[in-house]
Amino acid sequence: MNQEAPSSEKTSATLLFIDDEANILAALKRLFRPLGYNILTAESGAEALVILEKEAVDLAICDMRMPNMTGAEALEQMRLKWPDVVRILLTGFSDLSSTIAAINRGEIYRYISKPWEDNDIVLIVRDALERKHLLAEKQRLEALTLRQNETLKELNAGLEDKVRQRTEELHDALEQLKKDYFATIQVFANLMELRKGAMAGHSRRVAQLCRNIAHKMGLSDTDTHNIETAALLHNVGKIGLPDRLLDKPYMELSYTERTEFDRHPLRAAATLMALEPLRKASELIRNHREHYNGVGNTSGLHGESLPLGARILLIASDYDALQQGLISHDRFSPEQALDMIVSGSNVRYDPIIVDAFREMMSHVSGYAQVETEFLVNSAQLYAGMLLTRDVVTGNGMLLLLKGSALTDEHIREIREFEQAAGEQLTIYTHSI
């Protein structure tokens, strides 16, 4: 066995060259020695297998035609005993059947014809090692994701105890609650919706719509905040519903099922009423499914006697639910959903709010302007950046809240998530 490693830098990978011709091994060493690899050589397949018993090898380049043991046979043995070693075949003759045998038996990554182009073989090795690294990183991140999913399952299984425990802690730290409770609500809403994929992001989108409608109607900051909070929590009563009521659109439920489903606003209100800062939101949630004309209402309220926030929340919730397939099997386009809202004016919905909503949606870009911000990618992030919008995945999972100051740990986790999920997150900040 021959081994050469550069002393000027730490090697990143170990390469094993196998060929019975000394000049070929020398040429490969000369080519790869300056690139920082740890280089091992063997003059036969049998010698290579002995080396592999003792050394950790990342990639092997093996000649096809060698005495006693062919390259195909050597690579097959590597595949059986050391499957993580990337295998490349070096062939100097046009023996198609031998090459096919090496591919089938040794499951090689690539084959290279002699004589080779130096730049080509360097790129092939670099790409092979990068692929090996990415596969290993993917497996690591999948294992991490699996552990995190198990943690979420445990959290959901004991959610009632968690909520009770958290409530007691919040009562002991009321001042901290006043500072952080809205952020806690957003995270809580996101955890609720992890139970069913179709609900993912629904509460957050409804909250945005409610905030915009309230701004359009000129409501006070306090009223706007109460409506937005109610929107984020309006589905909390669904936690106790069985899966059979959440797996089907509302219109496909039987009369008995609808009766059971329609109790979720009362359950939510009962859950939240003990928290003084959420008392107003609780009242809005309790009445948010009541019809403007009063038909079928259990509260006895109708028209202007219904809380204004509840009337706004009903329109916003139905508008999004129509598009997500939560009401009927068909998913409506934004235009179709708006038409359905307008058609229910003065019956299910408050006509004044409907008019404001229709006017708002006719020129969306003209309301709820945000301060100057920049769209950046994860490569542009640095510690201290302030987020101007929530960071949300494509399936609606909330990762970071608006207003968060990025840390090095945040940035690392964002980049790892993008690599594992294969998607680029949308990130907005005040500066670049």
171's CB contacts (< 8 A; 6+ apart) are none
Helix/strand/coil for 248: coil
> Going residue by residue through the chain (432 aa), what tens digit of pLDDT does each one get?
554 444 333 447 999 999 999 999 999 999 999 999 999 999 999 999 999 999 999 999 999 888 889 888 898 899 999 999 999 988 876 566 666 666 766 678 888 888 899 999 999 999 999 998 898 888 888 888 888 888 777 766 676 676 667 666 655 545 555 556 666 666 666 656 655 555 667 888 888 899 999 999 999 999 998 999 888 888 888 877 887 888 788 888 888 888 888 888 888 888 777 777 788 888 998 898 899 998 888 888 999 999 999 999 999 999 998 988 888 888 899 999 999 999 999 999 999 999 999 999 887 643 333 345 688 888 888 888 888 788 888 777 778 877 777 888 888 988 988 888 888 998 888 766
| Backbone dihedral angles phi then psi of residue 54, each to the nearest 5 degrees | -110, -30
Beta strands at 391-392 and 374-376: parallel, antiparallel or unpaired = unpaired
Cis? peptide before 334, omega within 30° of 0: no
Q: How far apart are CA 120 and CA 112, in angstroms?
A: 9
406's CB contacts (< 8 A; 6+ apart) are 381, 382, 383, 384, 385, 386, 387, 400
pTM over 0.85: no
Domains and CATH numbers, the chain: 2-138 (3.40.50.2300), 192-366 (1.10.3210.10), 374-429 (3.90.105.10)
Residue 186 tokens, joined:
């957003």
Cα–Cα distances in angstroms (integers) from residue 185 to residues 139, 228, 231, 233, 387, in the given order: 33, 10, 10, 7, 18
